[in-house]
């Protein structure tokens, strides 16, 4: 049995389905659909040189890689390659072949520092160490049982605060872009991010097929979006929080918690049965908020880094 690595073919539906299925099996805490796979490939910013690779064995997709340049970082020369192999198809060389292919492509694009997320499991961490990576920051995946669990009761917004949904901004989403840009710059991470291109944000984030505008809650203060909780759904029963944040000048007022609670209640009413989110392990305030909602840690992922060239 021979393993080969090739590019995902956007015009072949089976490729997107195989990619999505493999991601769900290897990383069940993140939402993935064939539509979201194709969206990432076709709507990413050109400067990201974003590529999706598949490892194939006898016509079956058994591994995936998402490869790109951190074009929205103020520091040049950074890139990422996140590799996942089906748990029942490991130890066939797929991961190593995907990594070599990704490194070759990024190296030719001028990337000198490569980042990769690795599940905090012995085999996965050993793989990263064998290939010269060193561990960096880490993050938790958390899960909430929406069907059987109990959410905190909804609260009335304080005076001057209104709860709206992202759907209310359909005619002009720029205020949400500005809030997203402000909160993304404060997110803990190895790679600093700056959102400056509104049109690119519209294509990549606002038009994302997993984005559920009706379940995304925005806390508005005096007509200005001050905090939000961005909801992704897979079209079935799974809900994921893509981002929860508050603009700096409105922090300390509980607006993020208010928005997320409202979004979770909307999600349960819409038929979602389980919710997922992620937190940097050092983000203790947000971890505490999620535990207050009833989330439980279900896995840990460690960011790894190595120099190229």
At 190 the pLDDT is 53
Instruction: Give the percent of the chain with pLDDT over 70.
Output: 96
Once rounded to an integer, what is the mean pLDDT over residues 51-80?
Answer: 94
pTM of the predicted model, to two decimals? 0.91
Q: 285 Cβ partners below 8 Å, 6+ apart?
A: none
Tens digit of each residue's pLDDT (9 = 90 or more) over 232-285: 999 999 999 999 999 999 999 999 999 999 999 999 999 999 999 999 999 888
User: Exposure pattern of 128-142 as b/e (b: 16+ CB <10 Å)?
Assistant: beebebeeebbbbbb
Three-class secondary structure of residue 109 per DSSP:
coil
Higher pLDDT, 194 or 153: 153
Mean per-residue pLDDT over the chain, rounded: 94
Once rounded to an integer, what is the mean pLDDT over residues 107-115?
Answer: 97
Is it the case that residue 214 has pLDDT exceeding 90?
yes
Q: Could you tell me the pLDDT band of residue 149, with boundaries at 50, 70 and 90?
A: confident
* Full set of structural domains in the chain with CATH: 3-111 (3.40.630.30), 144-300 (3.40.630.30)
Tens digit of each residue's pLDDT (9 = 90 or more) over 177-195: 999 999 886 665 555 556 6
At 24 the pLDDT is 95
Q: 145 Cβ partners below 8 Å, 6+ apart?
A: 273, 274, 294
Three-class secondary structure of residue 33 per DSSP:
coil
Strand ranges (E), 86-234: 113-119, 134-145, 161-165, 217-221, 224-233
**Is the separation of the CB atoms in 201 and 180 below 8 Å?**
yes
Higher pLDDT, 164 or 72: 164
């Amino acid at each position: 049995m021979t393993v080969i690595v090739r590019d995902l073919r956007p015009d072949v539906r089976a490729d997107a389905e195989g990619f999505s299925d493999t991601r769900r099996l290897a990383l069940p805490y993140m939402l993935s659909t064939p539509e979201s796979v194709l969206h990432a490939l076709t709507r990413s910013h050109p400067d990201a040189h974003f590529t999706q690779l598949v490892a194939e064995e006898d016509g079956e997709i058994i591994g995936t890689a998402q490869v790109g340049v951190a074009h929205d970082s103020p520091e040049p020369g950074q890139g990422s390659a996140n590799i996942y192999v089906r748990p029942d198809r490991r130890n066939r060389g797929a991961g190593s072949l995907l990594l070599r292919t990704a490194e070759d492509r990024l190296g030719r694009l001028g990337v000198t520092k490569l980042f990769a997320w690795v599940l905090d499991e012995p085999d996965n961490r050993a793989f990263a160490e064998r290939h010269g990576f060193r561990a960096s920051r880490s993050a938790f995946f958390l899960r909430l049982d929406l069907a059987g669990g109990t959410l905190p009761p909804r609260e009335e917004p304080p005076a001057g605060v209104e709860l709206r949904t992202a759907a209310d901004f359909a005619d002009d989403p720029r205020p949400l872009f500005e809030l997203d840009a402000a909160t993304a710059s404060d997110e803990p991470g190895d790679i600093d991010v700056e959102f400056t291109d509104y049109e690119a944000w519209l294509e990549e984030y606002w038009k994302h097929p997993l984005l559920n505008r009706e379940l995304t809650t925005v806390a508005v203060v005096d007509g200005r979006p001050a905090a939000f909780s961005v909801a992704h759904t897979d079209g079935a029963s799974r809900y994921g929080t893509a981002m929860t944040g508050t603009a700096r000048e409105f922090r300390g007022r509980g607006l993020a918690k208010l928005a997320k609670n409202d979004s979770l209640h909307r999600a349960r009413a819409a038929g979602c049965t389980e919710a997922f989110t992620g937190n940097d392990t050092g983000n203790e305030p947000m971890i505490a908020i999620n535990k207050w909602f009833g989330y439980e840690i279900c896995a840990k992922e460690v960011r790894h880094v190595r120099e190229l060239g």
